[in-house]
Amino acid sequence: MFRQIDGLAMGSPLGPILANIFVGYYEGELLSQRESAKPLLYRRYVDDTFVIFRNESECDQFLIRLNSLHPALQFTIEKERNNSLSFLDVLVEKRNTNKFETSVFRKPTFTGQYLRWNSFSPRRRKINLIGTLVHRALMICSGNKLSLELDCIRKILLDNGYPEHVISRGMERKLTQFNAEKRTEPTARTIKDVYIHLPWIGPISTRFEKQLISAVGKCYDTVKTNVIFTTTQLLPSTRKDVLPALQQSNVVYEYRCHCDCGYVGRTSRRLQDRINQHVLRFIRTRASRDVRSSPLTHPLKIDADRSKAINSAIGKHLLDNPICANNYRDDRFRIVGRGRSQFHLCALESTFIKIHQPKLCQQKEFVYHLKIVH
């Protein structure tokens, strides 16, 4: 078990917000310094920055000062090559006329694989994919770069099995909608978007969507219903190997004997190690070999090891009852609970003992003293 004392956890909802606050605080201190040369342009998205300097020496000095503000700040630098530089999904190119042209940037590892046309998913999701790619091109590309990007999108969609007439229709619809939104003035009436997740099970889902939108629209005219269809994975995702029960720790376990006597205990170690403390080795060895042809007696070896097992209720019970020892197996132990801390383990153990009242746990008493701090 590890405790993270620095940085942010991957996937945490607060991660981007806290990272933005952290970097923004120190960049504010840096840009407020009068003696340092300030960049001509400074734009940042979380921890990715796009900066323009007069020369490379100012750029290198700015990087050194930025990384010296805090030990956790270790920025790297990527300078322009052939008058072009990529920033997030945008490729910025510098022209001789002191102007910049932008286009969509794709990494060298880009495979061009999107949702295929013949996949089992809602048709609307495939149509929306066309509109999404076109919308990104309209927002990013300069005027003379737009046609090249639209041709690239068309080729990528054709490689994914999309019919050409569907691609053309989707592109025209998005272009018309985008131009109309630019000319439309905002209205005073506010429409509230409501999103509903439904499973995709085929054409019946589409019919139910229309009925649902119609019913909501008749009752609430200021609500726009958006149905989002979800699909399940056909193949299971890769999961971590399941740890065997006997190798797990911080657990509450129960032992059920052949005579129906029970025992409940806890352990912060591996359950197998705790079993080895309860049951003598020759009994476990006999059970693993399944030697039951002759009844277990009390040889001198048992008398010699009796003192070692006397502290264990299970071990003492097996020594006093040869029939139970003959029928011992490790699978008579099972995990009934898992604890987050020692106090949690103790609370779970006492709860199970109170509920089941196992016969072999009569000697246990649990008293918790809570210290109240005013």
- pLDDT, one tens digit per residue, over 157-205 is 999 999 999 999 999 999 998 888 776 666 666 888 889 988 888 888 8
Q: 217 in a domain, yes or no?
A: yes
Domain boundary among 43, 58, 79: 79
Between 188 and 255, name the one with better pLDDT: 255
Q: 5 in a domain, yes or no?
A: no
Mean pLDDT of the chain: 83
Residues 158 and 256 grouped into a single domain:
no
Q: Is the pLDDT of residue 72 over 60?
A: yes
Q: 138 in a domain, yes or no?
A: yes
Q: 92 in a domain, yes or no?
A: no
Residues 196 and 147 grouped into a single domain:
no
Report which listed range, 30-34, 45-49, 240-244, 287-291, is most confident.
45-49
- pLDDT, one tens digit per residue, over 209-248 is 889 988 888 888 888 899 888 887 666 666 667 788 888 8
**For residues 144 and 162, what is the distance between their CA atoms, to the nearest angstrom?**
26
Residues 347 and 249 grouped into a single domain:
yes
Residues 303 and 333 grouped into a single domain:
yes
- pLDDT, one tens digit per residue, over 86-109 is 998 899 998 876 788 999 999 989
Q: Do strands 84-87 and 192-199 pair parallel, antiparallel, or not at all (unpaired)?
A: unpaired
Between 370 and 267, name the one with better pLDDT: 267
Q: Is the pLDDT of residue 372 over 80?
A: no
What letter would DSSP give residue 70? -
Q: 309: buried, middle or exposed (CB in 10 Å: 19+, 13-18, 0-12)?
A: buried
Work out the number of other CB atoms within 10 angstroms of the CB of residue 175. 17
Q: 85 in a domain, yes or no?
A: no
Between 296 and 262, name the one with better pLDDT: 262
Residues 273 and 341 grouped into a single domain:
yes
Residues 250 and 344 grouped into a single domain:
yes
Residues 251 and 352 grouped into a single domain:
yes
Q: What range defines the domain where residue 220 resides? A: 192-230
Q: 60 in a domain, yes or no?
A: yes
Q: What is the number of structural domains in the chain?
A: 4
Q: 154 in a domain, yes or no?
A: yes
Residues 352 and 320 grouped into a single domain:
yes
Express as a percent the part of the chain with pLDDT over 70.
85
Residues 348 and 276 grouped into a single domain:
yes
Q: 86 in a domain, yes or no?
A: no
Between 134 and 178, name the one with better pLDDT: 134
**For residues 261 and 321, what is the distance between their CA atoms, to the nearest angstrom?**
12
Residues 346 and 274 grouped into a single domain:
yes
Give pLDDT, residue 139.
92
Give pLDDT, residue 304.
46
Spell out the alpha helix ranges (H) of 221-309: 271-278, 281-289, 300-309
What band does 29 get if pLDDT is binned at 50, 70 and 90?
Answer: confident
What band does 315 get if pLDDT is binned at 50, 70 and 90?
Answer: confident
Spell out the alpha helix ranges (H) of the chain: 15-31, 56-67, 123-140, 143-159, 164-183, 203-219, 271-278, 281-289, 300-309, 313-320, 322-326, 342-356
Residues 271 and 356 grouped into a single domain:
yes
How much of the chain is in helix, strand and coil states, percent to nearest 5?
45, 15, 40
For the whole prediction, is pTM greater than 0.85?
no
Average pLDDT over residues 53-77: 87
Residues 357 and 254 grouped into a single domain:
yes
**For residues 302 and 320, what is the distance between their CA atoms, to the nearest angstrom?**
10
